Structure formats: C-alpha cells, structure tokens
Amino acid sequence: MINIFRTKFKKILAFLLIASILACISYLIVYKVSFLPNGYDIEAVQKENVSLKSFNLLGIEKDTINLSFSGNDTWKIDEIEYQVNRQKESFWLLFSFVTISLFLLVYKIRNGLKLWKAILESNILSVLLPLLLLINTLNYINELIS
C-alpha cells in the first residue's frame, strides 16, 4: 500500500516538475523573446503618444504603429497598455496549456491509451479558454487602434 502511494506521489511530483518547466519556458518565450503571433508589444509610452510594435502570424515584427491621443481620448493609452499586458498573459496561458496538454497526450499514448481516449484525458480542449481570451483581447486592441 505504501509503495503504491509512493509511486503515485513520485508520478505527481514528476508531472508538476515538467509542467512547471513548460510554463517557465512559455513565460520566457512570451515575455523575454516577445513571440506574439498577430499580437502587439509596447515600444514607448509618452503623455499623449504610444508606439506599438505589431507582429505577423509567424511572430516576426511587421511594423511600428505610432498613435497620438489628445483631450478626452488620453484614457486610450492606459487601456492599450492594459490590453497589451492582458494579451501577453493570454499568450502565456495559451502556450502553457498547449505544451502541457501535448505532453500529457504523448504520455498517455505511450502508455497504451487509444488516441481518442488520450485526447480526452489530456485536456487538450482546455486550450479553448485562453484562445478565446486572446481573440477577445486582440479584437479590443484593434478597436482601440483604429
């Protein structure tokens, strides 16, 4: 009984270690490398101006957008900053969920589960939540910019 508990405990600890490593790598990819496919990153913020870098689908810098707001529209600068940070959090969650789910999928298939059962047990559908958050955030940023 104790040996069964020990082996399960070791498996849980190993999974938590691997999941933590994958989440840290995802964090580095988003925040340090700035891999933001179809996303935006803040280049500079001033009193009434903001400069954004936009990225294409491959995460390569597409162009720089300079926006100027005056009068009652200066609140948009703070909102753009907030939404860009929210977009980065959504990318981090998306990349973390995808890598952890793929790891679980491969692990379950290698342990002999059938493909469809492994897909269901690896929670690969959990990727939809951060994906929806990301799409909403990117749409709102596009509305603020235009």
Give the tens place of pLDDT for each residue, 75-134.
Answer: 888 899 999 999 999 999 999 999 999 999 999 999 988 988 888 888 888 888 899 999
Say how many Å lie between the first and final Cα of the chain, rounded.
64
- A 10 A CB-CB count for 141 gives 21
- A 10 A CB-CB count for 36 gives 22
One-letter identity of residue 6: R
Model pLDDT for residues 25-77, shown as the tens digit of each residue:
999 999 999 899 989 999 988 888 899 999 998 888 888 999 888 878 888 88
pTM across the whole model: 0.88
Between CA 49 and CA 46 the distance in angstroms is 5
